Amino acid sequence: MKFILAVVQHQDASNLVAALTEKGFRVTRLSSQGGFLREGNVTLMLSVEDPQVNVVIATVREHCSTRTRFVSPMPPIAESGEFYPPAPLEVQVGGATVFVLRAETAKL
């Protein structure tokens, strides 16, 4: 048994959840927020049998894409009276970060 945590961009989450549930997986969806860009993410949690891990990862790969974004860095410290607006930086966002953990079931 494996426990899968997949952190995906908010834009990709709905299509991914629909695809996973269509394939018979039960998914728990949690809203989360990234630290670097402070944007909304979604953390998906699934518990699957070992042979199903590759199916889940392939589905995540199929429905989560990377994007290019331009972000403005913090302005540099300038001398009194000077202002230099920082140039936007191009960064890759999106895709998915997937954690696969061993899991055991327990009846309580």
What domains appear along the chain, each with residue ranges and CATH number? 2-67+94-102 (3.30.70.120)
Predicted local confidence at residue 78, as pLDDT: 57
> What's the rounded mean pLDDT across residues 9-29?
94
pLDDT tens digits, one per residue of 80-96: 666 656 677 777 666 78
**What span, in angstroms and rounded, lies between the C-alpha atoms of 59 and 45?**
14
CA distances from 21 to 14, 29, 68, 98, 106 (A): 11, 12, 29, 18, 24
pLDDT tens digits, one per residue of 33-82: 766 556 678 999 999 999 999 999 999 999 998 777 677 666 556 566 66
Q: Other CB atoms closer than 10 Å to residue 12's CB: what's the count?
A: 20
